[in-house]
Amino acid sequence: MKKSTLFDIISPVMAGPSSSHTAGAVRLGLLARNIYKKNPKKVVFKLYNSYAHTGKGHGTDKGLLAGILGLRVDDRRIKNIFDADIAKNIEYRFEYYDNFRRHPNAVDIELYGDYDMKICGDSVGAGEILITKINDFNVSLSGNYNTLILVYKDKPGVISSVTSHLQYANINIASLSCDRSAKGQDASMIICIDGNLKEDIVQNIEKMDDIYFVTYVEKLEN
């Protein structure tokens, strides 16, 4: 677990009123945007529990949409995002649910466009967030690191083949976690790295055998 730094205590500069319900919402939207990689045509936000109950008073809905549109937590347009020009070309809807199995501040973001994607996440406090699911795969993305996400066939040697590509590029791995649906079936790998990964490395990994899906998600600025 990462400890707070001096910077964490005297920041972020953010649109109020709540780090979890406003800044956290913007960051969830932003990270979802980084994962989806394109401008979606339509977005459905499903808000759960406290996000559903007090979200309106905290601008949670505005924050989520602003994040999807690429605005940072301190952007002055967040407050009036529903009337802003950049929100004119996107269709969006908010739905509200109670579900005790979900985190108090949980949201599902369904993105529709060139392709469809469902991203689930929680706002875990002090503006920190966690993306917990992308489509059917469980993940754990905080947005604090540049991250490589892979879906691959569970078999010996895949992990070391992937990490050797990173070693070749002189990239340090901050953390690595794997999960699989069953032995020899689909597996997922999440690699948080220090520094930046060049596009050609991602492409090389994509060309490997037994790799079904690769995406590189850039960390959030603040």
Partner 1 sequence: MDINISTFEQLHNVCISTNKPIYEIAQEVMATSEDISVNEVRSFALRSLFAMKEAINSGMRSDELSMSGMCGDDCAKLQKRFEKEHSMFGRLFENILEYALATSEENIRMGTIVACPTAGSCGILPAALIAVSREYGYSEEEQINALITAGEIGRIISIKVALAGAVAGCQAECGTASAMAAAAVCQLRGGNVRQILNASALALKNLLGLTCDPVAGLVEVPCVKRNPFLAVHSVTAVELALSGVESKIPIDEVIDSMAQTGALMSPMLKESSQAGLATTKTGLKIKDHVFGEK
Residue 23 or 87 with smaller CB distance to partner 1: 23
195 binds partner 1 (CB under 8 A): no
* Residue choice 41, 42, 54, 167 for contact with partner 1 (CB under 8 A): 54
Strand order in the sheet with 117-125: 91-97, 42-48, 105-112, 117-125, 128-134, 137-141
Q: Is 221 helix (H, G, I), strand (E, B) or coil?
A: coil
Report the candidate in 85, 47, 63, 57 with the shortest Cα–Cα distance to residue 15. 63
7 binds partner 1 (CB under 8 A): yes
Please give the size of the binding site for partner 1, defined by CB under 8 A: 35
Type of residue found at 8: D
* Residue choice 35, 43, 47, 78 for contact with partner 1 (CB under 8 A): 78
184 binds partner 1 (CB under 8 A): no
Rounded to a whole number of angstroms, the CA Rg of the chain reads 18
Stretch that binds partner 1, among 38-46, 113-121, 124-132, 169-177 (CB under 8 A): 124-132
Stretch that binds partner 1, among 19-27, 33-41, 164-172, 206-214 (CB under 8 A): 19-27
Residue 42 or 93 with smaller CB distance to partner 1: 93
19 binds partner 1 (CB under 8 A): yes
77 binds partner 1 (CB under 8 A): no
Residue 41 or 53 with smaller CB distance to partner 1: 53
Q: Is 165 helix (H, G, I), strand (E, B) or coil?
A: helix
Stretch that binds partner 1, among 7-15, 84-92, 129-137, 199-207 (CB under 8 A): 7-15
127 binds partner 1 (CB under 8 A): yes
SS (H, E, C) 73-134: CCCCCHHHHHHCHHHCCCEEEEEEECCCCCCCEEEEEEEECCCCEEEEEEEEECCEEEEEEE
How many Å apart are CA 148 and CA 127, to the nearest integer?
23
13 binds partner 1 (CB under 8 A): yes
Cβ-in-10-Å burial (0-12, 13-18, 19+) of 57 comes to: exposed
Give the footprint of partner 1 on this chain (CB under 8 A).
3-19, 22-23, 50, 53-54, 56-59, 62, 74, 76, 78-79, 96, 125-127
